[in-house]
Structure 1
Amino acid sequence: MDFVIHRQDRQPLHLEGENLADAIERAVAEGRALNLAQLEGANLEGAHLERANLAWAELMEANLQGANLERADLRRADLTRAQLRHANLERALLMDANLRGANLAGADLRYANLVEADLRDADLTGANLEGADLRSAALERTDLRGAQASGAILDGAILWHANLAGADLEGADLEGALLVRAHLEDAQNAPEAN
């Protein structure tokens, strides 16, 4: 499979699947912007991508399990059905990112910016969303069982049919959130469902 990242001079740099994670890590270490990268289906499991610029990147169905994406810029990135189990996304910028159907179980999303992100049908079981900004995020049918969401900002978020059973919502801002048919069984500090 051929993967494409764009160099500083805007010319595409084609990468082969072998050693892809090493090539991407090297580019990040060199301070190279990887925005607009075409990495659909890439295996970046456990990669060190802290502070990477992956804005607008195409990462559909990519394997980023256990990857370190702390403070990474993933604005408007397409992470549809990506595997992000136990990934570190602390303070990552994910505004308007497409995470539809992504697996974020056990992921660290503390203080991540997910404003207007599409998380429909995503798996966030056991994820840490402490202080995360999810204003106006789409969370329909999202599985948030056992998630730590204390202090999260969910103002205007759409949580139709979301499963928040056992989630910790202490201090979470749910003003204007749509909780229609949301499952709140055993959720700590949960509001009444709409």
Structure 2
Amino acid sequence: MRDLPAFDGVELLGIGMFGGGQLHHGRETITAPDQLAGQKFRMGGPIQERLLTELCAVPVAAPASKAYELLESGVVDGSLHTFESVVNFRLEDSLTQHTLFPEGFYDATFLVAMNGARWDGLLRADRDAIAAISGEELSRVWGTAFDAQNPAARDALAEAGHEIVEATLELIAAVDEVRVGMVADWAEAARAAGVADPEALMEGCRARYVDISAQ
């Protein structure tokens, strides 16, 4: 992956995800696609924005650190977070209704990278020391931490009396329909960026993810 044109000029140190993001609401539990119509949700990126827009909800762009203010002022009805984020940003009193998607309503990949020129300017011993705890090692630590935090946060919210329901098949199907279009658009953009076979890349990453998750 480091050899892809998208990573030219940077040293890739690690990749990770926060865990499947979910729908969280302050007043009602979302169980059907039509319940999303007109509902205002704080969200943090283009993937979330497209999902909400195509499901007829209203995306409100803001960082997670602004969620409490937006919820308490009534600017938004709900907010998109992983379960650990609800707890870690102290939103338990503002978000009491949760719709759980088994594989997440959305997810996002984050990377840790260093400017290539700065990396090349480090002493060899320093580069070796950083490399020893980077790559798959750093990614494993990242994933292990969030794999533990998310179910712990979900259990804590359940014990506090929050309503947590699984997304219905109808709601999952509506999300999957949006996903199909998003993946097609991503593949087209990836080809334009120099990825020869983006579908194979995606399936390879998915297979590797499943393999590592089972370890």
TM-score band, normalised by shorter chain? under 0.3
TM-score, structure 1 length as denominator?
0.23
Larger Rg: 2
Would you tell me which structure has more strand in proportion to its own residues? 2
